């Protein structure tokens, strides 16, 4: 399998990176042994690669940092334990508000379904939509934003509002999911101890799109899907008008689910109440 | 169901924290300073811990952690360089990796020779690496520092293997370029002239291994 000089570039890089098959490596070696130009090139590339690897050899993590991380993980574990205790207490408390919280707990208690496959295409795509996005359009007036969204998506739509005061709508930008036009709303979520998260909500006309992801949760006859694509948290929901809501955030999963359950998606589409139906059924 | 916190932490520390040095090393090269590297790794580790229940225990934990690190790094980069700068970088990257052909005759004339390599110091290499756009920097760090395979890098960076190869090829080229510029500025080497060796084969090289393999398959 003789090769030509013009073909050696991909082979040289891949050979030095250990990516060639035995046959390809043999063919390259045969060529290089007979071609001075390619031999020189390969030798130069190899020396450069070796030099770069030597110069870039990174330092190890300092011992102090190991300890710091261990403490941080212990704190994270304590926070998780506190959250569980809080949830158990809420379950026991009476009152209408608690009924809704109790239903939310039921949601959490839903058995984790074995994923149909490893991929959760839509949430995966949304979570990886980081590079190449156009700039965020910041609009102070939410009515203006609703108008812009309606004009852009050509469907009647209003951004959901959240009962949590620590959620701030920052702006939106055009987006595409599954080849369909979508709008990506960007929220900032403020939490205690100066923690700040970003929540992105992709809105799109989603009829005939499979919104399923890892965990299916049934709430008052409605279904939401919860997942953790690329280490992010996601919640997807489709209303009866076929509008898909894909929430992606770096905040903990249970926090994101709570936020979505606390939104006014119920008021936006009365027939599609998530929280509304849940609460009324619980009462 | 979710695992109990204590068991979860023990399992996480045993399985994931063994990769701490690798994460820290890569973060150090990506961010260029220890403080930012620690922040990046801590956020990565805590995020991984929160989502530990969702991690498929029989899959590649190191690659999963690096995927989170990569995602976190790019997210931070985007926050810092909001808006048009990011778009500009993304477009530049797209232009650089869209096709498989690079017309870099001018660049190939600047190949660093022994003189350059002999006088290059680690600080220059780190500086040159930092000057790369995040996508090229990540590809070089994941391959040359961490030793991930093309396939693993493709999974971590969420792109095709061909794009990984393009980013590596282009990233290394730009690295050479920067080192050469530093060396010229320091008077170690001269501006490119007639004495500089030049590979005519470098111009218009294809770096798409798949295309090469397809061509080969068709001819046999």
Can you tell me the mean pLDDT for A200-228? 80
Q: Given an 8 Å threshold on Cβ–Cβ distance, is A56 in contact with B135?
A: no
Give the number of other Cβ atoms within 10 Å of residue B39's Cβ. Answer: 15
User: What are the residues facing A173 on neighbouring strands?
Assistant: A184
Tell me the pLDDT tens digit for each residue of A68-119: 898 888 888 887 777 767 655 554 444 444 444 444 444 443 333 333 333 3
Least CA distance to B215: which residue of chain A?
A: A7
Instruction: Give the whole-angstrom CA distance, residue B209 versus residue B204.
Output: 15
Q: Given an 8 Å threshold on Cβ–Cβ distance, is B220 in contact with A1?
A: yes
- A78 within 8 A of A188, measured Cβ to Cβ: no
Chain B contact for A19 (CB, 8 A cutoff)? yes
Chain B contact for A80 (CB, 8 A cutoff)? yes
pLDDT over threshold 50, residue A120: no
Q: Determine phi and psi for A247, rounding to 5 degrees.
A: -95, 130
Q: Which ranges of chain A would DSSP assign to H, the alpha helix?
A: 8-16, 22-34, 36-55, 63-92, 96-109, 121-127, 142-153, 253-261, 265-268, 275-282
**Residue A268 included in any domain:** yes
DSSP state, B143? I
pLDDT value of residue B143: 93
Chain B contact for A156 (CB, 8 A cutoff)? no
Q: Given an 8 Å threshold on Cβ–Cβ distance, is A135 in contact with B82?
A: yes
pLDDT over threshold 60, residue B197: no
Residues B26, B125 within the same domain? no
**Who has greater pLDDT, B17 or A128?**
B17
Residues B101, B144 within the same domain? yes
Chain A contact for B67 (CB, 8 A cutoff)? yes
State the count of interchain CB pairs (< 8 A) between A and B.
Answer: 194
Measure CB to CB from residue B207 to each of A9, A37, A127 and give the nearest one: A9
Tell me the pLDDT tens digit for each residue of A7-50: 888 888 899 999 988 888 888 988 988 898 888 888 888 888 88
- A251 within 8 A of A233, measured Cβ to Cβ: yes
- A166 within 8 A of A179, measured Cβ to Cβ: no
pLDDT value of residue A192: 79
pLDDT over threshold 50, residue A280: no
- B142 within 8 A of B151, measured Cβ to Cβ: no
Residues A113, A228 within the same domain? yes
Least CA distance to A4: which residue of chain B?
A: B201
Name the strand (E) or helix (H) holding B212. helix B209-219
Residues A192, A107 within the same domain? yes
pLDDT over threshold 80, residue A133: no
Q: Given an 8 Å threshold on Cβ–Cβ distance, is B135 in contact with A131?
A: yes
Can you tell me the mean pLDDT for B1-29? 85
Residue A16 token pair: 């030095």
Tokens 């042994």 belong to: A33
pLDDT over threshold 90, residue B153: yes
**Who has greater pLDDT, B4 or A220?**
B4
Burial class (CB in 10 A: 0-12, 13-18, 19+), B86: buried
Instruction: Give the whole-angstrom CA distance, residue B107 versus residue B181.
Output: 11
Domains of chain A: total? 2
Pick among B8, B10, B24 to test the A interface (most A CBs inside 10 A) = B24
pLDDT over threshold 80, residue B146: yes
Residues A135, A226 within the same domain? yes
Measure CB to CB from residue A214 to each of B46, B54, B140 and give the nearest one: B54
Closest CA to B199 of A50, A3, A32, A5: A5
pLDDT value of residue A93: 47
Can you tell me the mean pLDDT for A61-70? 90
Q: Which of A52-61, A77-86, A251-260 has the lowest mean pLDDT?
A: A77-86
pLDDT value of residue A140: 57
Q: In chain A, which residues have their Cβ closer than 8 Å to the Cβ of B72? A: 231, 250
Residues B69, B42 within the same domain? yes
**Residue A74 included in any domain:** no
**Residue A68 included in any domain:** no
Domain that holds residue A29: 5-55
pLDDT value of residue A101: 46
Measure CB to CB from residue B24 to each of A8, A60, A81 and give the nearest one: A60
Name the strand (E) or helix (H) holding B126. helix B122-130
Tokens 């501006």 belong to: B191
Residues A145, A230 within the same domain? yes
CB under 8 Å, gap of 24 or more: what pairs does A232-236 form? Answer: A232/A127, A232/B71, A233/B51, A234/A120, A234/A123, A234/A126, A234/A127, A235/A260, A236/A122, A236/A123, A236/A211, A236/A212
- Residue B209: CATH number of its domain: 1.10.10.10
Domains of chain B: total? 2
Tell me the pLDDT tens digit for each residue of A259-272: 888 887 755 444 44
Q: Given an 8 Å threshold on Cβ–Cβ distance, is A58 in contact with B150?
A: no
Chain A contact for B201 (CB, 8 A cutoff)? yes
Q: Determine phi and psi for A223, rounding to 5 degrees.
A: -120, 130
Instruction: Give the whole-angstrom CA distance, residue A36 versus residue A33.
Output: 8
pLDDT value of residue A104: 45
Residues A238, A181 within the same domain? yes
pLDDT value of residue A86: 63
pLDDT value of residue B136: 92
Tell me the pLDDT tens digit for each residue of A147-160: 777 777 777 777 88
**Who has greater pLDDT, A87 or B178?**
B178
Least CA distance to B116: which residue of chain A?
A: A48
pLDDT value of residue A266: 52
Residues A9, A101 within the same domain? no
Residues A118, A170 within the same domain? yes
Q: Given an 8 Å threshold on Cβ–Cβ distance, is B9 in contact with A14?
A: no
**Who has greater pLDDT, A215 or B151?**
B151
**Who has greater pLDDT, B128 or A140?**
B128
Last residue of a domain, one of B80, B101, B130: B80
3-state secondary structure of A57: coil
Residues A51, A97 within the same domain? no
Domain that holds residue B217: 89-220
pLDDT value of residue B105: 35
Least CA distance to A117: which residue of chain B?
A: B56
Q: Given an 8 Å threshold on Cβ–Cβ distance, is B150 in contact with A19?
A: yes
Name the strand (E) or helix (H) holding B49. helix B34-50
Can you tell me the mean pLDDT for A158-163? 82
The 3-class secondary structure across A197-265, one letter per residue, is EEEEEEEEECCCCCCCCCEEEEECCEEEEEECHHHCEEEEEECCCCEEEEEEECCCHHHHHHHHHCECH
Instruction: Give the whole-angstrom CA distance, residue A244 versus residue A267.
Output: 16
Q: Determine phi and psi for A175, rounding to 5 degrees.
A: -150, 170
Residues B103, B160 within the same domain? yes
Can you tell me the mean pLDDT for B70-83? 65
């Amino acid at each position: 399998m003789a090769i030509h000089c013009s073909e050696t570039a991909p082979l040289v890089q891949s050979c030095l990176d250990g990516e060639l098959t035995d046959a390809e490596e043999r063919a390259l070696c045969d060529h290089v042994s007979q071609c001075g130009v390619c031999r020189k090139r390969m030798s130069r590339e190899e020396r450069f690669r070796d030099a770069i690897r030597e110069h870039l050899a990174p330092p190890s993590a300092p011992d102090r940092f190991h300890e710091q991380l261990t403490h941080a993980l212990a704190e994270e574990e304590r926070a998780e334990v506190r959250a569980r205790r809080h949830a158990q207490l809420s379950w026991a408390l009476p009152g209408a508000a608690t009924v809704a919280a109790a239903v939310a707990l039921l949601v959490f208690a839903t058995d984790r379904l074995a994923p149909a496959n490893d991929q959760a295409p839509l949430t995966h795509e949304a979570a990886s939509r980081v590079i190449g996005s156009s700039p965020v359009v910041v609009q102070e007036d939410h009515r203006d934003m609703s108008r812009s969204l309606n004009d852009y998506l050509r469907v009647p739509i209003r951004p959901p509002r959240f009962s949590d005061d620590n959620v701030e709508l920052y702006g939106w930008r055009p987006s595409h999911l599954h080849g369909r036009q979508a709008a990506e709303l960007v929220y900032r979520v403020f939490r205690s101890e100066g923690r700040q998260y970003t929540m992105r909500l992709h809105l799109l006309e989603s009829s005939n799109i499979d919104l399923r992801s890892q965990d299916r949760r049934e709430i008052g006859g409605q279904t939401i899907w919860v997942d953790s694509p690329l280490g992010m948290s996601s919640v997807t929901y489709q209303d009866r008008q076929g509008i898909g809501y894909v929430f992606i955030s770096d905040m903990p999963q249970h926090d994101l689910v709570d936020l979505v359950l606390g939104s006014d998606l119920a008021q936006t589409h009365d027939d599609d109440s998530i929280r509304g139906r849940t609460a009324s059924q619980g009462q | 169901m979710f695992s109990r916190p204590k068991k979860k932490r023990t399992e996480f520390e045993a399985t994931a924290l063994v990769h701490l040095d690798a994460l820290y090393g890569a973060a150090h090269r990506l961010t260029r300073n220890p403080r930012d590297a620690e922040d990046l790794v801590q956020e990565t580790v805590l995020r991984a811990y929160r989502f530990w229940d969702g991690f498929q225990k029989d899959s590649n934990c190191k690659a999963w952690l690096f995927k989170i690190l990569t995602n976190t790094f790019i997210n931070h980069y985007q926050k810092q360089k909001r808006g048009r700068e990011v778009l500009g970088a993304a477009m530049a990257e797209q232009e650089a990796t869209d096709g498989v052909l690079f017309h870099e005759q001018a660049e190939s004339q600047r190949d660093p020779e022994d003189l350059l390599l002999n006088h290059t110091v680690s600080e220059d290499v780190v500086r040159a690496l930092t000057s790369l756009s995040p996508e090229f920097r990540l590809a070089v760090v994941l391959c040359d520092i961490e030793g991930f395979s093309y396939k693993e890098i493709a999974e971590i960076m969420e792109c095709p293997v061909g794009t990984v190869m393009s980013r590596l090829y282009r990233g290394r080229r730009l690295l050479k370029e920067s080192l050469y510029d530093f060396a010229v500025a320091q008077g170690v080497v001269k501006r490119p002239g007639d004495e500089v060796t030049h590979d005519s084969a470098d111009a218009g090289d294809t770096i798409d291994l798949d295309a090469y393999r397809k061509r080969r398959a068709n001819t046999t």
